[in-house]
């Protein structure tokens, strides 16, 4: 459930990516594969290990594969940031121990090693790290602004009240949600609430102890809240009908913030003015310490001011040449009056070095009028958000003549 949705797991690849010394430690701790001489194995030559692995009892392999999958999901920059954030919170009153944790994990050669070392040596941080990493990869967040700057009730009474509200709502409206549990975590200045209501019963096709058949089970679905007392904002993630969004926000306001009701949603009429990005000389502004190495426009969508619905979309290879989109724009301008068009969507290609000495990562930022942005709230995306603000690309009060594009659902 908590894997990175964009990264595929396989046991063979996991064994190849993990150093033998750490695999030896893991299996020794589990009392398994004592017959495998890890010291004699060549790195990435995992055939003897994989053959021995297949001889283990199915139940043992299933349990260990679940742990491997979690390690795989945290073997990334986002996973490393999640581990760091959880350790920093738990060790907030013991800075020397946090410094030692950071030094130990930073000394590892890569994110796969950091994930395994954290799993083996710092199990107290593991659960929170998996939750944060999972939340960082969830799409389609809904934001509510204008909440009072009020401390969240993270204690058991608050969690139980929220769980009961979620359970009652889904049981009443959709016939599911008979049970619900809510867990809370602190991440910097943010409070995370993970709710798991009971879903509809299902039958899955499975192999169990060599027998093939259908087995009924009752999974949980997920509701995630991220609350900022400082900003007075609530981010909500719940897959399904939009009609559940406001009731779920209202439950949080009454049960966690202790408000009599959900405050009115202030209408945010600000929009992005993306027209400056059509200028060849536009400069992106960012601090060298941010790790951002390069930003270029790779896609522009132009919407007609004259004929509603008429659009021109341009896309160029910004990686090969930063000015490519502007050359293409000049060519189109020979046959179209571009002064009668507004830029209503733009995609940026960025290169960001997330760690010294490592290859920078490619990132795409999509911004759409009126006020949608694809960036999330992990470390790298926060740096890119700061770059947009410094470059003057942020939602502002609308100006005359700027056509609003149709909003694209669940994009920000």
Q: pLDDT tens digits for 110-149?
A: 999 999 999 999 999 999 999 999 999 898 899 898 899 9
3-state helix, strand, coil in the chain (%, to 5): 40, 20, 40
**Which pair of tokens denotes residue 400?**
């005359």
| pLDDT at 378 (0 to 100) | 67
| pLDDT at 400 (0 to 100) | 54
**What are the 10-residue block averages of pLDDT along the chain, 412 residues in total?**
60 95 96 94 93 94 95 92 96 97 95 96 97 91 92 96 94 90 96 95 78 82 96 92 88 95 76 92 92 95 93 93 94 93 95 86 91 76 89 77 47 36
| pLDDT at 333 (0 to 100) | 94
pTM (whole model) above 0.95:
no
DSSP assignment of 272-310, as one string? ---GGGGSTT------GGG-EEEEEEEEEEEEESSSTT-
* Environment class of 128 (CB within 10 Å of its CB; exposed 0-12, middle 13-18, buried 19+): buried
| Distance between CA atoms of residues 308 and 249, nearest Å | 35
| Distance between CA atoms of residues 78 and 89, nearest Å | 17
User: In sequence order, what E strands does 305-369 have?
Assistant: 311-315, 341-352, 361-368
Phi/psi zone of residue 160: left (φ > 0), alpha (ψ -120 to 50 degrees), beta? alpha
Beta bridge partners of 233: 228
| pLDDT at 257 (0 to 100) | 97
Buried residues in 240-253 as b, exposed as e (16+ CB within 10 A): eeeebeeebbbbbb
| Distance between CA atoms of residues 193 and 224, nearest Å | 6
Sequence spans of domains, the chain: 11-136, 142-256, 275-390
| pLDDT at 398 (0 to 100) | 67
Q: Give the chain's end-to-end CA distance (angstroms, integer).
A: 23
CB 385 within 8 A of CB 379: no
Helix (H/G/I), strand (E/B), else coil: 405: coil
């Amino acid at each position: 459930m908590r894997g990175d949705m964009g990264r595929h797991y396989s046991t063979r690849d996991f064994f190849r990516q993990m150093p033998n010394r750490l695999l030896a430690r893991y299996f020794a701790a589990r009392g398994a594969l004592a017959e495998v001489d890890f010291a004699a194995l060549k790195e990435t030559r995992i055939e003897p290990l994989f053959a021995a692995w297949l001889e283990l009892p199915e139940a043992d392999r299933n349990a260990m594969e679940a742990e491997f999958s979690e390690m795989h999901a945290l073997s990334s920059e986002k996973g490393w940031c999640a581990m760091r954030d959880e350790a920093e919170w738990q060790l907030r009153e013991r800075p020397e121990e946090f410094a030692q944790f950071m030094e130990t994990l930073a000394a590892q050669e890569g994110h796969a090693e950091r994930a395994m070392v954290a799993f083996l040596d710092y199990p107290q941080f593991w659960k929170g790290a998996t939750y944060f990493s999972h939340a960082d990869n969830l799409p389609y967040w809904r934001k509510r602004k204008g909440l009072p700057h009020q401390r969240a009730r993270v204690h058991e009474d608050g969690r139980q009240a929220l769980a009961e509200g979620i359970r009652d709502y889904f049981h009443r409206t959709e016939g599911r949600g008979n049970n619900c549990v809510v867990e809370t975590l602190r991440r910097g200045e943010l409070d995370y609430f993970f709710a798991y209501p009971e879903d509809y019963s299902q039958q899955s096709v499975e192999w169990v102890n060599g027998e093939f058949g259908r087995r009924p089970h009752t999974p949980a679905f997920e509701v995630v809240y991220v609350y900022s007392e400082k900003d007075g904002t609530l981010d909500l993630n719940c897959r399904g009908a939009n009609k559940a969004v406001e009731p779920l926000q209202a439950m949080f306001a009454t049960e966690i913030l202790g408000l009599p009701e959900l405050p009115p949603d202030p209408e945010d009429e600000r929009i992005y003015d993306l027209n400056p990005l059509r200028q060849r000389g536009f400069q992106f502004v960012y601090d060298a310490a941010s790790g951002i190495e390069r930003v270029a426009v790779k896609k522009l969508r132009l919407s007609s001011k004259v004929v509603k619905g008429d659009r021109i979309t341009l896309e160029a290879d910004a990686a090969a040449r930063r000015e490519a989109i502007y050359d293409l724009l000049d060519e189109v301008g020979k046959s179209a009056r571009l002064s009668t068009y507004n830029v209503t969507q733009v995609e940026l290609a960025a290169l960001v070095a997330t760690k010294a000495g490592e290859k920078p990562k490619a990132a795409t930022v999509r911004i759409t009028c009126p006020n949608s942005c694809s960036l999330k709230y992990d470390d790298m995306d926060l740096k890119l958000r700061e770059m947009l603000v410094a470059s003057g690309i942020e939602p502002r009060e609308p100006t005359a003549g700027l056509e609003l594009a149709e909003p694209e659902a669940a994009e920000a």
